[in-house]
Structure 1
Amino acid sequence: MKITANFDSGNIEVINATDPNNIQLAIRKDNMSDFYQWFHFRLNSPHAQVHKLHITNAGTSAYPDGWKDYQAVASYDRQNWFRVETEYDGNTLTITHYPEAESVYFAYFAPYSYERHMDLLHQAQNDYNCQLVELGETLDGRDMSMLVVGEPDDSKKKVWIIARQHPGETMAEWFVEGLLDRLLDEDDGVARSLLAKAVFYIVPNMNPDGSVRGHLRTNAVGVNLNREWQNPSMEQSPEVFLVRQKMLELGLDMLLDVHGDENLPYNFVAGAEGVPSYNAKMAQLEASFKQALLAVTPEFQTTYGYDRDEPGKANLTVCSNWVAEQFKTLAYTLEMPFKDNANLPDEAYGWSDVRSMKLGQDCLTAILAVVDDLGTK
Structure 2
Amino acid sequence: MIQLSTAFDSGAITVLSSADPADIRLALRPDNASDFKQWFHFRASGVRDVACAYTLANAGEAAYPDGWEGYAVRASYDRQHWFCVPSQYVDGTLRFAHTPEYDTIHYAYFEPYSWERHLDLLACAQAAAPWCTVERLGRTLDGRDLDLLRIGEPAPGKRNIWVIARQHPGESMAEWFAEGLIEALLDGEHAPARALLERAVFYVVPNMNPDGSVRGNLRTNAAGANLNREWAEPTMERSPEVALVRHKMLEVGVDAFLDAHGDEAIPHNFVAGCEGNPSFSEHQDRLQTAFKQAWLAASPDFQVKYGYEVRQFGPEQMTLATNWVGDRFDCLAFTIEMPFKDTADQPLPAVGWNGERSRQLGASVLLALRAVVDTLR
Equivalent residue, structure 1, for 2:320: 318
Deviation at 1:90, TM superposition (A): 3.3
The answer to whether the 8 A contact 2:272-2:336 is kept is yes
* Distance in 2 (alpha carbons) for counterparts of 1:85 and 1:190: 39
Equivalent residue, structure 1, for 2:134: 132
The answer to whether the 8 A contact 2:10-2:215 is kept is yes
Equivalent residue, structure 1, for 2:40: 39
Equivalent residue, structure 1, for 2:97: 96
Equivalent residue, structure 2, for 1:77: 78
TM-score for the superposition, normalised by structure 2: 0.98
- C-alpha distance 328-123 of structure 1, shift in aligned 2 (>3 A): same
Deviations 1:7-47 (A, max 9, x none): 00000111101111000111110012010000000001245
* Distance in 2 (alpha carbons) for counterparts of 1:174 and 1:259: 10
Find the partner of 2:187 among 182, 185, 188: 185
Number of equivalent positions: 374
Runs of 4+ in 1 over 3 A off after TM superposition: none
TM-score for the superposition, normalised by structure 1: 0.98
Find the partner of 2:300 among 276, 298, 301: 298
Deviation at 1:155, TM superposition (A): 1.2
Equivalent residue, structure 2, for 1:55: 56
The answer to whether the 8 A contact 2:47-2:99 is kept is no
Equivalent residue, structure 1, for 2:375: 373
* Distance in 1 (alpha carbons) for counterparts of 2:47 and 2:109: 24
* Distance in 2 (alpha carbons) for counterparts of 1:41 and 1:318: 31
Q: 2:61 is aligned with what amino acid?
A: T
The answer to whether the 8 A contact 2:41-2:109 is kept is yes
Equivalent residue, structure 1, for 2:24: 23
Find the partner of 1:353 among 352, 355, 363: 355
SS in 1 for 2:21: coil
Equivalent residue, structure 2, for 1:363: 365
The answer to whether the 8 A contact 2:167-2:261 is kept is yes
* Distance in 1 (alpha carbons) for counterparts of 2:190 and 2:45: 44
Q: Please, which runs of 5 or more residues in structure 1 have no aligned partner?
A: none
* Distance in 2 (alpha carbons) for counterparts of 1:154 and 1:90: 60
Equivalent residue, structure 1, for 2:107: 106
Q: 2:337 is aligned with what amino acid?
A: E
Deviation at 1:239, TM superposition (A): 0.2
Q: How does 1:249-264 map to 2 (within 5 A)?
A: 249-264=251-266
Equivalent residue, structure 2, for 1:198: 200
Deviation at 1:85, TM superposition (A): 1.5
Equivalent residue, structure 2, for 1:118: 119
SS in 1 for 2:194: helix
Equivalent residue, structure 1, for 2:169: 167
The answer to whether the 8 A contact 2:111-2:172 is kept is yes
Deviation at 1:314, TM superposition (A): 7.2
SS in 1 for 2:271: strand
The answer to whether the 8 A contact 1:254-1:330 is kept is yes
- C-alpha distance 21-251 of structure 1, shift in aligned 2 (>3 A): same
Percent identity over the alignment is: 55
SS in 1 for 2:214: helix
SS in 1 for 2:338: strand
SS in 2 for 1:88: strand
Deviation at 1:91, TM superposition (A): 1.1
* Distance in 1 (alpha carbons) for counterparts of 2:39 and 2:142: 20
Find the partner of 2:233 among 231, 234, 238: 231
The answer to whether the 8 A contact 2:47-2:100 is kept is no
* Distance in 1 (alpha carbons) for counterparts of 2:91 and 2:196: 47
Q: Please, which runs of 5 or more residues in structure 2 have no aligned partner?
A: none
Equivalent residue, structure 1, for 2:285: 283
* Distance in 2 (alpha carbons) for counterparts of 1:361 and 1:104: 30
* Distance in 2 (alpha carbons) for counterparts of 1:341 and 1:235: 39
Deviation at 1:234, TM superposition (A): 0.2
The answer to whether the 8 A contact 2:48-2:101 is kept is no
RMSD in angstroms over aligned alpha carbons? 1.1
SS in 2 for 1:248: helix
